Amino acid sequence: MDDRIIKTEYSEVMQKSFIDYAMSVIIARALPDVRDGLKPVQRRTLYDMYELGIRYDRPYRKSARIVGDTMGKYHPHGDSSIYDALVVMTQDFKKGLPLIDGHGNFGNIEGDGAAAMRYTEARLEKITQEAFLADLDKDVVDFQPNFDETEKEPSVLPVKIPNLLINGSEGIAVGMATNIPPHNLTEVVNATKAYMQNENITTKELMRYVKGPDFPTGGIVVNKDDLLEIYETGMGKIKIRGKVEVEKTKGGHINLVITEIPYTMIGVNIGKFLMDVAALAETKKTQDIVDITNQSSKEGIRIVIELRKDTDVENFKNLLYKKTRLEDTFGVNMLAIANGRPETMGLKQVIKASVDFQFEVTTRKYKNLLEKELEKKEIQEGLIKACNVIDLIIEILRGSRDRNMAKACLVEGKTDGIKFKTKESKIMAAQLMFSEKQANAILEMRLYKLIGLELEALINEHEDTMANIYRYEDILARRDSMAQVIINELDAIKDAYGKKRRTEITNAEEAVYIEKKAEEMDIIFMMDRFGYARTIDMQTYERNKDTVISENKYAFQCKNTGKVCLFTNMGQLHTIKVSDIPFGKLRDKGVPIDNISNYDSSKESVIYVASQTDLNLYRMIFATKYAMLKVVDGGEFDVAKRTVAATKLADGDEVVSVVALKEQSNIILQSKDGFFLRFPIADIPEKKKGAIGVRGMKLGASDNLEEVYYTRNTDDTSIEYRGKTVELNKLKLGSRDSKGTKIRV
């Protein structure tokens, strides 16, 4: 038993196992092959449909049947991955060249998913049979065993076009990902022909044919000048915009109609776009929007934004480009499997790999065809020769005891045992030297072949065979001849399936949105104890002042163009633009401040809230759990950043109180253990916001500051402390950094 135990480092086993797993995902699942542009699941699905005979000119078959057969024979990775791949190959809004003809609900551009596979049906598209699966019977690609070695599957499909460019691809592997945009079939074919005619052609010259990506959803690529570098390196970012048209309504309003969307907006992102546009109106980013409707249908995209009469349309379009996904980025990473390994390739490299593959496939095809024609030639010549001596052949057949004796005579000239009518016949029979295949063909020949017209047809067929042999040998011997064959096939596919470009390629200036300055006015900020914030107008506040004060933890006047500042127990200052806070009615719920600031209610709590304008007018008093105090000029908190440190804290310390210093004279510190210390606020030094402050009270080992109170000398302020009334201004006036007086209860 011991001799079968292999001792090794655990880390080495894990490293090897992970690398094996990663390579399996990369090669066998996530990345396409540069030769046919297909991932394994796509290739297996198409091949299975081909094997099942689900052709374009035959009835549709249930998707569940296709998925089950593919999973059982070739792809044992779950039915959802196979069905998802099948669905995508039917969607003309995702693929520039759909490979499967779907019947039923296969989803739509707005993100609705396909029906269950038991409801939908599918069959191959015509182009898939003609350009992807043709010639599989001619030994043009290698076949490999399937997962359980009970079937054979092609390692790659004999695709006749650069499908990796035409349909693009996306996939996430382990440690790498691919994202290749689709291109126009006509342009890619023209570029391929140009490369075949001049292999030294540059990427820049190829781009005279391939202008750029051609997305099924159309749109506008606005960074044309960046495309050359992207196609040379295989990596980069393409900026795409939706296509927008302007319509005027009878009522004088302006309709902004989006007729084409960025490719990245396919699916749920259309709904997200509509929500983003609505949010622009809700948050008062713009007041130009009257209404927004999605009128998209099978005929195409139509999203209508109704605008006010005086809207600056160009400025509003720029707002959409800046604040929504109407302008988006497509990250290009042209990663594919080449020669068994992942490789990032540029435009020329992908076309070269496709052309090299075409020459390999075409060579194997015509070698196979040549072998069959040579075999036909041999048999035809034998039959023609036999027809010329048919009387002798019949004499041999009638004089032989069995087939083997007759065959031996035809092939080797053996006449022993055969009865001939004359010696001359025997001598002539001994001179017959047919090949094995010719002899078999003669022995199987039917008598009607001796009819004159049949013999003439045989001679004509032989002439055709000789012409084919000459043609095939020329194709195999001369690269130019083979190149012409490939070009002819490319032209035929282009003529049959080529379409006009959908996506416009141009250079456009960066969208610049000039925000209209809002008319400055006073409003009331409100925040309840749950952290929901909103603003209302002054008139509403004046009519409902008591309700506002009783129902909200914070309520104060501010400018609609200003900021609101939140001080937290962790010593942070979070600023919020008032314009980002919903403005509405008194009973509106508002929005959580977490959603409109960097404040995180799960990690910190709000200590004090004020408007930036008020902070600039006053000084601020800070008090912490360790009884550290300081006064800070409120102007120090007039900052541009959304979050800054409002004060410095020792480890474990946190802010207990922040208050604007207005008319207060005294500060009263109350510790957890019941000590009260009253002293003048004037004893607290003014510090910078980055300072830690000075000690305000001596605390016991387990004690800390619990509450802070502020009074004026003329006030009679009292509090309830553990059931006892404490008159704050009657407490003994002490000095800062003393222990204070303990209240007995």
Amino acid letter, residue 51: E
Q: What is the four-CA torsion angle of 540, 542, 546, 549, rounded to 10 degrees?
A: 80
The larger pLDDT score, comparing residue 412 to residue 46, is at 46
**In terms of DSSP H, where are the helices of 586-631?**
593-596, 612-617
Instruction: State the pLDDT confidence band at 628, using cuts at 50, 70 and 90.
Output: very high
Residue range 102-111: mean pLDDT, rounded = 92
> Does 723 have pLDDT greater than 60?
yes
Task: Give burial (CB, 10 Å; 0-12/13-18/19+) of 40.
Answer: buried
Residue 453's contacts (CB-CB under 8 Å, 6 or more residues apart) are none
Terminal-residue alpha carbon distance, the chain: 79
Give the pLDDT of residue 451: 66
Residue range 596-613: mean pLDDT, rounded = 92
Distance CA 79, CA 66 (A): 10
Biggest CA–CA distance in the chain, Å, is: 154
Residue range 657-686: mean pLDDT, rounded = 92
Residue range 84-104: mean pLDDT, rounded = 94
Residue 327's contacts (CB-CB under 8 Å, 6 or more residues apart) are 222, 239, 240, 241, 242, 262, 320, 321, 511
**In terms of DSSP H, where are the helices of 432-537?**
436-443, 452-477, 479-497
Tokens 């009519």 -> residue: 543
Long-range CB pairs of 131-136, under 8 A, 24+ apart, other chains included: 131/159, 131/160, 131/161, 131/493, 132/36, 132/46, 132/99, 132/157, 132/158, 132/159, 132/160, 132/163, 133/46, 133/47, 133/50, 133/157, 133/158, 134/158, 134/160, 135/361, 135/365, 136/50
What secondary structure, in 3-state letters, does 289-348 show?
A: EEEEEECCECCECCEEEEECCCCCHHHHHHHHHHHCCCEEEEEEECEEEECCEEEECCHH
Distance CA 123, CA 134 (A): 16
Instruction: State the pLDDT confidence band at 18, using cuts at 50, 70 and 90.
Output: low
Residue range 243-263: mean pLDDT, rounded = 88
The answer to whether 472 and 370 are in contact (CB under 8 A) is: yes
Tokens 């109106």 -> residue: 281
The catalytically annotated residue of 119, 470, 513, 541 is 119
Give the pLDDT of residue 292: 92
Q: Is 572 helix (H, G, I), strand (E, B) or coil?
A: strand
Give the pLDDT of residue 26: 65
Q: Strands 675-680, 741-742: parallel, antiparallel or unpaired by DSSP? A: antiparallel
> Does 38 have pLDDT greater than 90?
yes
Give the pLDDT of residue 340: 85
Give the pLDDT of residue 382: 82
Give the pLDDT of residue 19: 66
Distance CA 62, CA 103 (A): 9
Residue range 461-485: mean pLDDT, rounded = 93
Give the pLDDT of residue 657: 94
Sign of the CA dihedral with 357 first, then 360, 366, and 371 last? negative
Whole-Å CA distances, 679 to 576, 689, 705, 729 = 35, 22, 15, 10
Give the pLDDT of residue 486: 96
> Does 1 have pLDDT greater than 60?
no
Give the pLDDT of residue 448: 66
Distance CA 313, CA 307 (A): 9
Residue 354's contacts (CB-CB under 8 Å, 6 or more residues apart) are 34, 35, 161, 162, 164, 192
Q: What are 34's two structure tokens?
A: 């540069």
Give the pLDDT of residue 390: 81
Give the pLDDT of residue 9: 77
The answer to whether 575 and 641 are in contact (CB under 8 A) is: yes
Of 382-386, 467-471, 534-538, least confident by mean pLDDT is 382-386
DSSP state letters, 202-262: -HHHHTTT--S---TT--EE-BGGGHHHHHHHSEEEEEEE-EEEEEE-TTS-EEEEEEE--
Please give the model's pTM, rounded to 2 decimal places. Answer: 0.73
pLDDT in tens, 165-220: 999 998 887 778 899 999 999 999 999 999 999 999 999 999 999 999 999 999 99
Distance CA 236, CA 228 (A): 10
Provide the percentage of residues in the chain whose pLDDT is more than 70. Answer: 96
pLDDT in tens, 535-573: 999 999 999 999 999 999 999 999 988 999 999 999 999
Give the pLDDT of residue 2: 58
Residue range 31-42: mean pLDDT, rounded = 93
Provide the percentage of residues in the chain whose pLDDT is more than 90. Answer: 61
Q: What are 477's two structure tokens?
A: 């011997």
Q: Phi and psi of 743, rounded to 5°?
A: -90, 120
CA 638 to chain centre: 42
- Average pLDDT of the residues of the chain: 89
Tokens 């996506």 -> residue: 503
Distance CA 414, CA 426 (A): 10
What size, in residues, is the chain? 745
CA 129 to chain centre: 28
Instruction: Judge whether 50 counts as a catalytic residue.
Output: no
User: 103-127 in b/e burial notation, b at 16+ Cβ within 10 A?
Assistant: ebebbbbbeeebeebeebbbbbbeb
Listed residue (543, 585, 584, 593) closest to 563, CA to CA:
593
Q: Is 741 helix (H, G, I), strand (E, B) or coil?
A: strand
Please count the helices (runs of H) and the strands (runs of E) in the chain. Answer: 22, 35
Listed residue (631, 639, 691, 627) closest to 659, CA to CA:
631
Q: Strands 619-624, 655-661: parallel, antiparallel or unpaired by DSSP? A: antiparallel
Q: What are 511's two structure tokens?
A: 């969208």
pLDDT in tens, 127-149: 999 999 999 989 999 999 998 99
Distance CA 165, CA 143 (A): 25
Distance CA 105, CA 121 (A): 9
Give the pLDDT of residue 443: 84
Amino acid letter, residue 299: E
pLDDT in tens, 490-507: 999 999 999 999 999 999
Residue range 636-656: mean pLDDT, rounded = 92
Give the pLDDT of residue 744: 82
Residue range 79-93: mean pLDDT, rounded = 94
Instruction: State the pLDDT confidence band at 634, using cuts at 50, 70 and 90.
Output: very high
Q: Is 660 helix (H, G, I), strand (E, B) or coil?
A: strand
Residue 300's contacts (CB-CB under 8 Å, 6 or more residues apart) are 259
> Does 455 have pLDDT greater than 80?
no
